[in-house]
Amino acid sequence: MGKSIFNITSLIALAYIIIISIYLFWHRVGFSPDQFFAVALLITLLLGRMKQFIRDWSIPVVLFLSYDYLRGLTPKLNMEANIFPMINFDRLVFGEIPTNTLQTLLFSKGTLSWIDYLATIFYMSHFVVPLVIAFAFWFKKKKYFEEYALALILISYAAFITYVLFPAVPPWMASEKDVIPQVHKIMDQTFLALPQRIDLPSVYRFFGANLVAAVPSLHAAYPWLTLLFLVRKFKAVGWLFLPYVLGVWFSIVYLGEHYVFDIIIGVLYAIVVYLLIFKIAKERGVIATSQNTKI
């Protein structure tokens, strides 16, 4: 009885966060880590787990915010952005730029379709979905939360180092430089069609944007990393997350935010980080087992 009540309250908490995320998107607002922390703090207060939440989440949230602050400094650290490696790879593999191909097939200039809205939703879910999954892991088992949060942080900072060493121009920017055929800024048009933007308190307004943080694509890396963790925990059921992963990958290419090259590098980063975390977790388990045996 107690376990079923716990599961119900967990589902209610997650559903509440998802509803808030949808509302924020409808008003052109992304769900940043600090905003998520504030909402989740209220939920855990009502559930009587606020102290534990603050203790477990404070460091990961601060590290995420620190990463985003550092990412905004990247253009000042390296002014030479790479343009052609990603273009050459995509043309070599596909014969042309996939973004141009998809927009030619699916986008109608001056008219927004359901694909445009759905792609924008997938793109904007970048921070929402990983945080919701982390919140669910935290409710279920602290060990899963710690491993998943550590993996997200490691992959983020690994990406930051890459952005400094290899800043990369996304397709829409390459189009503006007349390097590739025209890429429509579909997401900008989609936002203009939504209700008026609302302003919510967030430290993100003090962070600078990094427009050349394309390789690796964290929009590709986060979902794939999440899938690996879900499959590890839920086995075959975890693969139900795969359509979301593919949806994000399709969206970031269709919207002109990333090349396929960026996705592949992001996936490789995710795999390496996952294997590292899995190795650490396995070694910790062996150490814990040996200690228990001695006792």
User: What b/e readout covers 226-265, taking b as 16+ CB neighbours within 10 angstroms?
Assistant: bbbbbbeeeeeebeebeeebebbbbbbbbbbbbbbbbbbb
Res 113 pLDDT > 50: yes
H/E/C letters for each residue in the chain? CHHHHHHHHHHHHHHHHHHHHHHHHHCCCCCCHHHHHHHHHHHHHHCCCHHHHHHHHHHHHHHHHHHHHHHHHHHHHCCCCECHHHHHHHHHHHCCCHHHHHHHHHCECCECCHHHHHHHHHHHCCCHHHHHHHHHHHHHCHHHHHHHHHHHHHHHHHHHHHHHHCCECCHHHHHHCCCCCCCCCHHHHHHHHCCCCCCCCCHHHHCCCCCCCCCCCHHHHHHHHHHHHHHHHHHHHHHHHHHHHHHHHHHHHHCCCCCHHHHHHHHHHHHHHHHHHHHHHHHHHHHHHHHHHHC
Higher pLDDT, 210 or 134: 134
Q: Which of 21-30, 37-46, 85-94, 177-186 has the lowest mean pLDDT?
A: 21-30
Residue 286 is predicted with a pLDDT of 47
Residue 168, beta-bridge partner list: 82
Q: Is 149 within 8 Å of 136 (Cβ atoms)?
A: no
pLDDT tens for each residue of 186-199: 988 888 887 666 55
Best CA proximity match to 151, nearest among 284, 274, 279: 274
Q: What is the mean pLDDT of residues 125-142?
A: 86
Res 203 pLDDT > 60: no
Q: pTM of the prediction?
A: 0.85
Higher pLDDT, 228 or 3: 228
Residue 72 is predicted with a pLDDT of 65
Give dist(CA 279, CA 292) in Å, integer. Answer: 20
Most confident of 29-38, 103-112, 260-269: 260-269
Would you place residue 287 in the very low, low, confident or very high pLDDT band (cuts 50, 70, 90)?
Answer: very low
pLDDT tens for each residue of 207-220: 555 567 789 999 99
Residue 41 is predicted with a pLDDT of 82
Give dist(CA 260, CA 217) in Å, integer. Answer: 9
Residue 164 is predicted with a pLDDT of 86
Answer whether the bond into residue 33 is a cis peptide, omega within 30°: no
Q: What is the mean pLDDT of residues 39-43?
A: 80
Residue 65 is predicted with a pLDDT of 74
